[in-house]
Amino acid sequence: MADSTRQSTSPSPRTADQPGASGAESLVSSSSLETSIREAQEALRARPRVSLRRRLGGSFLLWLLGSLGLAVVSVGIVARIRTKVAFMETATSYSFEIQQARRFEKNYFLYGTGLADVQVHIDRAQAILDQAGDELAMVIGREDFELMARHLRRYRELLDQLAGLDSRADDSAAERLHAIEEELRTHGAEMVAVAENLVAKERQAVNSMLAVSQRIPVAFMAILVLLMLYLAAFVSKQILAPLKRMVGYSRRIARGDFTPITPRKKYHDEFSELAVAMNHMMLQLAQRQDLLVRAHKLKAVGTLTAGVAHELNNPLNNIILTASMLEEDFHDMSADECLELVRDLVSESERARKIVRNLLDFARESEGEMEALRIDQIVEDTLRLAGNQIKLAKVKVEGQVEENLPPVYGDRQQLEQVFLNLVLNALDAMPQGGRLRIHIGKSPDRESVAVRIEDTGVGIPKQRLQEIFDPFFTSKKSKGTGLGLSVSLGIVQRYGGDIHVESEVGKGSAFTVLLPVTKVPADIANPFERDNAGD
């Protein structure tokens, strides 16, 4: 049967990434916590604001401007290459016309034909020079351009003179022809050299621009890789790392450690706002947890009051009887007999006062003072406080305490409240009486003191084990508020401890309270003053 299977459960199992914070370092009074959180909030807000959104926007804006700049440079280079290619075509055409003119010039002097062809090509070269003169002057310089134009004009004049000598056949004409030939060759050679130099310069310029245009994509890729590395580092350092810290803070808060988040960076960003909100949440959680603890404490006081009233009845009856006897027989009694009755009155009064004092000590509000405590003494005081309920429930208590137990650090009243709640729950589980076994010793890992409270009551069904620590869960129907175990677990977890439960229907339940063995730090009185990683 499922209900007869023995189960063990823990409401908050520990994992490797949840370091056990000392309970002594995670529990202080509400006023101290409020002061510490207020100081942390002021420190978080006092830093200069540098928005994460603005930094991301600025980075992308720089990237956009850089990309636009590279695009503009690329477009400009392409446009210049296009212009250079067009100009190089013009220069090539000019050079071609000059070379053709020189070729027909040679034919003319060798065979006497082709002079008209020379003039045609020279006229074409002159037309090119007139059309692209300004561009040519910018490329080769104004002085070289004027020299090239003079050579071309002089070459054209010599061609005209040469054409005028064709009909003459005297010796002077022959000499003149030879002189014109020499001068034509000189000017023609100069024009060819200038044209070839012009084409070579333009070709070099185009090649240089092509090389630059080839480097632009490489530079763009390099900048893109650097930007990706920067963005990866930015996301890792400015987003993922703070998120990881926030996850750590959330886990710490879930363990009941309400140490406020303090500033870590020099500026204020969105994660600082989140830290402010988490600090406010911690304060609200601490205040509400304190309210729950107080509410459950009042319920426990109400439960104890019935037993205390019954327990006070005996000494009060004795006081009334003794006082009545003293009143009736006072004149017939000796001084020693009167003194004996007075001593009885004092003794019973002391007994009644002790009963009331125990209840008042438990009900009194504490300041959450941390101190070294003997856990066996806490359990003993709790059993004494619940002694009358134990008698009324007809429950027999059996105890076993190991020797040389280390102390634990915490608040006496809150620990008494935890054990009182577990004892009263055990009594409720044994309405017909039974046996309550309490064992106090070290946990198997020797890191905690374990208090095992085992009853022989009705037990808890398997399907309810995971719910018993939930707030407002109760199996007592009209009796109980369902806050006892939830409040007790909250108190223990604030000390870095835990509560485990084992149960078997019809045989009983066993609750084990684990409280860590902790060395007292030097600043235990105010744990919030220690160095704390913040945001």
Residue 9, phi then psi, degrees to nearest 5: -145, 150
Which of 232, 249, 273 delimits the end of a domain?
232
Q: Is the pLDDT of residue 127 over 50?
A: yes
Alpha-carbon distance of 75 to 145, in angstroms, equals: 30
Q: Which pLDDT belongs to residue 10?
A: 45
Q: Is the pLDDT of residue 212 over 70?
A: yes
Which of 173, 199, 232 delimits the end of a domain?
232
Residues 227 and 373 in one domain: no
Alpha-carbon distance of 422 to 452, in angstroms, equals: 10
Q: Is the pLDDT of residue 505 over 60?
A: yes
Residues 372 and 226 in one domain: no
170 in a domain, yes or no?
yes
Q: Is the pLDDT of residue 11 over 50?
A: no
**How far, rounded to the nearest angstrom, does the alpha carbon of residue 281 sit from its chain's CA centroid?**
17
395 in a domain, yes or no?
yes
Query: What CATH number is attached to the domain comprising 94?
Result: 1.20.120
Please tell me the total count of domains within the chain: 2
Q: How confident is the model at residue 309 (pLDDT cuts 50, 70, 90)?
A: low
Q: Which pLDDT belongs to residue 438?
A: 94
Q: Which pLDDT belongs to residue 317?
A: 72
- Specify the higher pLDDT residue, 33 or 452: 452
97 in a domain, yes or no?
yes
Residue 401 in tokens: 């305490």
pTM of the model: 0.46
Residues 62 and 206 in one domain: yes
Residues 74 and 219 in one domain: yes
Give me the numbers of helices (H) and strands (E) for the chain, helices first please.
Answer: 13, 8
- Specify the higher pLDDT residue, 166 or 144: 144
CA distances, 55 to each of 69, 221, 402, 425 (Å): 21, 23, 61, 57
Run of H or E residues at 8: strand 7-9
Rg over alpha carbons for the chain, rounded to the nearest Å, is: 52
12 in a domain, yes or no?
no
380 in a domain, yes or no?
yes
Q: Hey, which of 124-128, 193-197, 467-471 has the most confident mean pLDDT? A: 124-128
Alpha-carbon distance of 399 to 343, in angstroms, equals: 35
Q: Please report the sign of the dihedral spanned by the C-alpha atoms of residue 385, residue 387, residue 393, residue 396.
A: positive
CB contact at 8 A, 290 and 258: no
Alpha-carbon distance of 114 to 93, in angstroms, equals: 20
Query: What CATH number is attached to the domain comprising 459?
Result: 3.30.565.10
Which of 232, 261, 286 delimits the end of a domain?
232
402 in a domain, yes or no?
yes
Q: Hey, which of 6-20, 176-190, 262-276 has the most confident mean pLDDT? A: 176-190
Instruction: For residues 341-354, give the mean pLDDT.
Output: 76
CA distances, 257 to each of 49, 202, 220, 496 (Å): 28, 77, 50, 8
- Specify the higher pLDDT residue, 438 or 109: 438
Beta partners for residue 397, in sequence order: 436
406 in a domain, yes or no?
yes
281 in a domain, yes or no?
no
Q: What would the pLDDT profile of 383-417 be if each residue is shown by its tens digit?
A: 888 887 888 888 999 999 998 889 988 888 888 88
Alpha-carbon distance of 535 to 490, in angstroms, equals: 26
Domain that holds residue 70: 54-232
Q: Is the pLDDT of residue 454 over 90?
A: yes
